[in-house]
Structure 1
């Protein structure tokens, strides 16, 4: 009797979003192999050959084995970086980590016949905010006036013309205080007099502040859309106030639904987590799309719907592939 093809979940151990999807696949009897590339080579072994028939072989973790040409789907979540074996440092460690990334990483991104949610190269391409903004505008989504610059004078002029304005980081880099505690750069309002010479040291993103009455997180899984209205945030960035928020499933306007679908197609994504601001007139103002956004922090009745949609895509990859 042929064993069912597994789903490969590429992520770190502490990943609640992946956990709920894995649990759902388990309830369905779908085999899952969970792999974190940072565990290579300590607890991960790979044997791969390429010949006229393509890529064949296997990847083995401490508890599971998957044939490379039998993986039905890959759920690419949040793996840790590739690493060197313990005991190496300096250029030896860097060399080993690079060989792992281009070797194991190259294999994991080229599994024959596998459906990716999302392919990591598609995730990476869709993480650049200027590219996001440009694509969203082309797809008909409403974008607040935005400036990306390292020109101090231009930044001051923009904030004076379009204020109230906000500053947003272009990428959420790891950042820590002297004690090693992680820090986050939040969305903050900025005035023209706040723009100083530091702007000239790297790229900055300034945007007209939306006069919003609520926030919206639109989670797209293929053509299935889950729009959640978020109320109760006392500040600009609702991610700072989870305990104060309420969540309500709402309908997605047809023009926004089309724009979101066109956006996914532009980046060849299956999954995307879109953020919008909702103004008093009912207009949805597009902020960004995280191609690998979390969702398991929603209440269970919302999380379960998104989980089901993702599990369906992974279990039945031949349905409406991108």
Structure 2
């Protein structure tokens, strides 16, 4: 049986899918973080574990094409990182080449079969990428939580904690989002909130984003303001790339799930917009595209991902 491999390796988890020549997914696997910027060469081991699980009982030698979308793809020029990936593919028994591309490319492919356009991604982090012929031509933001990622889940959660801390007065916290944040942190005073925040890893703030979105949907004024600001910053980031030469694909949990951030972004965008499906399947489709003609690739895309215009 002829197989292809698709990998979506992000800062939180790595996921892999194995599909047949007709686009049927026959294996899935997941493992730990696969962002080389965050975890260095250890990212390759996480991705390898996801690939192992996806392959299951399938012969690795039957994989004829592979594509891996990597968060932090800018570090792939590092010889140590690329050597780690090469070693991992060999360790897993793969004999075909596995193309390493930016995760923006696989996110874009998960939403459209078009060759060019733009991807706007807002999950834990945030980045906009202009895609030309399935390659990243230019990016905006994607600078990490210290320097950027404006409008991301990390940004939204951190802004919520900052806003609650600044607004806290008296012995008890106000209701609404402030009470939700205090309950999640398990604190009863501003000083305790400050100490709690200082002990957290960055991902803990991203985990607060669904709470902010939920509070905004419930009508909390602070949460509504923060989600509107997140959307405005994401749209501004996309605008830095200029008009896209094709559709805009929305990706990342803040923009693929039903959130007030997604709703506000959609209301601000003109032109064709689609929503990304599974980026790992998008990567598998890119691997299939390498061994099929254009007409067949489009047909397979509709079967595997079925993007729907907004």
TM over 0.5: no
The structure that is helix-richer by fraction is 2
* TM-score of the pair, normalised by structure 2: 0.31
Higher relative contact order (CA 8 A, sep 6+): 2
The structure that is strand-richer by fraction is 1
Larger CA Rg, structure 1 vs 2: 1
* TM-score of the pair, normalised by structure 1: 0.30
